[in-house]
Structure 1
Amino acid sequence: MTIKKKILIRIGSLRHGGAEKALINFLKNIPSDKYDIDLLINLYSGQYIQEVPSWVNLHYLLKGEMITTNRLQDIPVKAFRVLYQKMFIWFPSLLYGRILKKKKYDIEIGAIHGMYKEILSSPIKSSKKIIWVQNDIFSLKEYPPEVVLQFFNFDKILVISNKLEEEMMKLTKNDSQREKLVKIYNPIDKSDTLNKANEPINDMPFENSHLPTFVSIGTVYPQKGYDRLLNIHKKLLDEGLQHNLIIIGDGYDFDSIQALLDKLSLQETAKMLGYRSNPYPYLKKSDFYIMSSRHEGFPTIIAEALILNKPISATDISGIKDLLQDGKLGIITQNSEDGIYTGMKKFIIEKDLAKHYEEQIKSTELPFVLEKSVKHLQEIIDNA
């Protein structure tokens, strides 16, 4: 009889997002007879909860919807949640005793970089510890070098782009630290993306328009650069370059971005649809995907746009050169308003450019194959 490895995986919630989706894709595609997995989420919230395999033991600290606004009435709830979660970092024996029932784990995994303190505070000193870095932490002010150096207390550090690997490598001091770094592609379920893209929708903006339509999908946070995107949309229109723009997603910056849209009088050409559990039909029906982000880790939506053979213009952020193969599969622009402007203008003016990229994508074997990524992750766990 094979002894199952006991694994604890931690993540903030299972709300929509690249890290959350990568984790779910991993859990859905590993053999249940090899592992005994406890999944602990801070907040029992999100569309992916229903996709957690039944054999995975699901635990949570708090229940409730994620607060994505900065309204005054939400501050007390936010403050309570932060303090409650920090209590278990300060007193981890409470967490491991009461919620995890004193279970002993062979491996503990932080499925997103923000969980590094939680995993490192574990009272189980014998467990192997793995952190999965899912964002460009080097562009985040809360991750100065002295904080990132703490990641080398893990046994393995999974990074999802060449840029992250290169930046982490600069901080290493010896071979043992360098050996901890492992580059791994997030597992993307191609068939699931294709199936969802074919589901019917009845609220597609500009469906009967003859003008080209750009779409951007993601949580409406400042890092996504939607303020820059609306400014460039306005600039192009003022130059007579007619086109439409769709933004899909919610988040605490939603109201301010909508206010900017209204201030620029873009109501007829730009639409903010809010959150959609299945954004892929909108992506499929649009002409181009536009990414205006200031920073990302591994922008899963770009991988999914490639699966749908969609022409892409994206700012030069972490993961983009890997995904777009240094510009072979899409336009990579400067990470600025000028860069966003250049990419959008190229697609509007150069009528044959979209077809060129579609043909390039069709003829290229994409590296983020579900089976390969899951196998790589399993090997890391099995050898830990």
Structure 2
Amino acid sequence: MKQQLLFVLPSLEAGGGEKSLVTLLNCIDYEQYDVDLVLFVPKGIFLKQLPKNVRLLYLNDGYKTFTSGLSCAIVSFLKQGKLGFAFSRLLYTFKSNVIKNKGKAEQYSWKHLKKSITSLPKEYDAAIGFLEKSSIYFVVDCVKAKKKIGFIHNDYVKLDLDASFDLPYFEKLNTIATVSEQCVTVLKEVFPTQKDKVQLLYNIVSAKLIHQMAEEPVTLATTKPSLLSIGRLHPQKGFDLAIEAAALLKLQGLNFVWYIIGEGAERTALEQAITKNDLEKHIVLLGIKENPYPYIKQTTIFVQPSRYEGKSIALDEAKLLHKPIVVTNFTTAKDQINHLKNGIICEMEVNSLADALTSLLVNESLQNELSLHLSKESLGSEDEIDKFYNIVNG
């Protein structure tokens, strides 16, 4: 009999965790496993990449009403005589809007949101909350499963969450999976009573698939040396640092265009910074690209200016395509980059980033040396699926 698995995620919008899940789902042996997927919001650029074997589940009407516009939800609940739901919706909105830390807002508003969610009727062999916060809370509170697993895709401390809120949920998990050695260390330090549950499972990156998709024809708008970064337009990704570094490169008279693939709430602020520094000809915000690999393949240098990462999937993908790489020294950078061997690690500071980029832009032999080293590395992590099976079945 097939094992019954459930995965839970907010959506399949662009993001490292979302991409990691889609890759994992494309590696699963569907002769051994039946897979259901709950998305709080069933949309995103990765939806069309889901295997046909995955059954997408939709949440109940009460949840849909709850997450509609505030006035619409309140009126609907009042008409149904559900005063408690209406009050919970008000508290949910209040906490979501008043608490400035969005991660903690999601934590503290969960108890109101979950009142609108009907527990799933099916019992699973394993239920996997594939992202921190609500995905895990849903698995613990709303799912019957023999084994419950939660994934943390970032350095937990950098997420600035309330650990005392998460601890009772982590206590009800069988496994807490995370994506890098540093993330394992941090989780064990923050949750010492749960340290035996913490397991390392690298993001699955398919070398074969990436090389195949990289052949799709795209044309960059310029023949200048090009830089490329990928990520949500969010302070975590350090694109404000990138713009300041680009201004320094321009002052040096360097010829370059810096492309950024991604979308997010910081777009307007970044656009304003680009205009302020007269960088319209040097920085191009490309938005979301369903297939970023041709852009990586054609670019001169891949840049990851993040303030923190769990384990960057985009960085692994750039390595697979043998791109010279510059990264800031976030806590997990050394898990992926060996300085001056397969990339350059600079300090998380504008001048250091600009200096690292300058040294690489003007030194084609160093670019070739880094690319050659990457071409000799054993990259790709398809075998991580066996570790996943062990976690599910162990």
TM-score interval, smaller chain = 0.7 to 0.9
What is the CA-CA distance between 1:297 and the residue it aligns to?
1.6
Classify the secondary structure of the residue corresponding to 1:344.
Answer: helix
Counterpart among 297, 318, 323 of residue 310 in structure 1: 323
Classify the secondary structure of the residue corresponding to 1:44.
Answer: coil
Deviations 1:178-216 (A, max 9, x none): 3211111111111221122111124x121x33xx21111
Q: 1:39 to 1:333 in 2, by over 3 A?
A: same
Q: 2-side partners of 1:78 and 1:264: how far apart?
A: 44
Name the TM-score, length of structure 1 as normaliser.
0.85
2:60–2:118 contact (8 Å) kept in structure 1? no
Give 2:362's aligned residue: 349
RMSD value, Cα:
2.7
Classify the secondary structure of the residue corresponding to 2:264.
Answer: coil
Classify the secondary structure of the residue corresponding to 1:36.
Answer: strand
Counterpart among 301, 306, 315 of residue 293 in structure 1: 306
Q: 1-side partners of 2:385 and 2:189: how far apart?
A: 28
**Matched residue type, 2:184:** E
1:159–1:182 contact (8 Å) kept in structure 2? yes
**Matched residue type, 2:52:** S
**Matched residue type, 2:167:** L
Give 1:118's aligned residue: 138
Counterpart among 195, 201, 212 of residue 178 in structure 1: 195
Gaps of 5+ in 2: 62-68, 75-88, 97-108
**Matched residue type, 2:368:** K
Give 2:387's aligned residue: 376
Classify the secondary structure of the residue corresponding to 1:353.
Answer: helix
What is the CA-CA distance between 1:41 and the residue it aligns to?
0.5
Q: 2-side partners of 1:120 and 1:311: how far apart?
A: 42
**Matched residue type, 1:91:** K
Give 2:118's aligned residue: 95
Classify the secondary structure of the residue corresponding to 1:6.
Answer: strand
1:138–1:144 contact (8 Å) kept in structure 2? no
1:216–1:289 contact (8 Å) kept in structure 2? yes
Q: 1:173 to 1:199 in 2, by over 3 A?
A: closer
Give 2:126's aligned residue: 107
**1:10-29 pair list within 5 angstroms:** 10-29=8-27
What is the CA-CA distance between 1:352 and the residue it aligns to?
1.8
What is the CA-CA distance between 1:382 and the residue it aligns to?
1.4
Classify the secondary structure of the residue corresponding to 1:247.
Answer: strand
Q: 2-side partners of 1:21 and 1:146: how far apart?
A: 29
What is the CA-CA distance between 1:326 and the residue it aligns to?
5.6
What is the CA-CA distance between 1:95 and the residue it aligns to?
2.1
Does 2:151 align with 1:132? Answer: yes
1:248–1:276 contact (8 Å) kept in structure 2? yes
What is the CA-CA distance between 1:62 and the residue it aligns to?
8.7
Deviates more, 1:243-252 or 1:76-85: 76-85
Name the TM-score, length of structure 2 as normaliser.
0.83
Q: 1-side partners of 2:166 and 2:364: how far apart?
A: 45
1:218–1:249 contact (8 Å) kept in structure 2? yes
What is the CA-CA distance between 1:243 and the residue it aligns to?
2.4
Q: 1-side partners of 2:71 and 2:301: how far apart?
A: 41
Q: 1-side partners of 2:45 and 2:215: how far apart?
A: 19
Give 2:38's aligned residue: 40
**Matched residue type, 2:7:** I
What is the CA-CA distance between 1:244 and the residue it aligns to?
2.1
1:6–1:107 contact (8 Å) kept in structure 2? yes
Q: 4+ residue stretches of structure 1 with deviation over 6 A?
A: 74-85
Counterpart among 203, 207, 219 of residue 190 in structure 1: 207
Classify the secondary structure of the residue corresponding to 1:245.
Answer: strand
Q: 1-side partners of 2:251 and 2:70: how far apart?
A: 40
What is the CA-CA distance between 1:335 and the residue it aligns to?
2.1
Deviations 1:144-178 (A, max 9, x none): 4424534343211111111111111223545xx33
Q: 1:260 to 1:75 in 2, by over 3 A?
A: farther
**1:221-300 pair list within 5 angstroms:** 221-300=234-313
Classify the secondary structure of the residue corresponding to 2:334.
Answer: helix
What is the CA-CA distance between 1:33 and the residue it aligns to?
2.2
Classify the secondary structure of the residue corresponding to 2:14.
Answer: coil
Deviations 1:214-236 (A, max 9, x none): 11112211211111101110012
**Matched residue type, 1:305:** A
Deviations 1:303-356 (A, max 9, x none): 110111000001122442222246531111222223322321221233321111
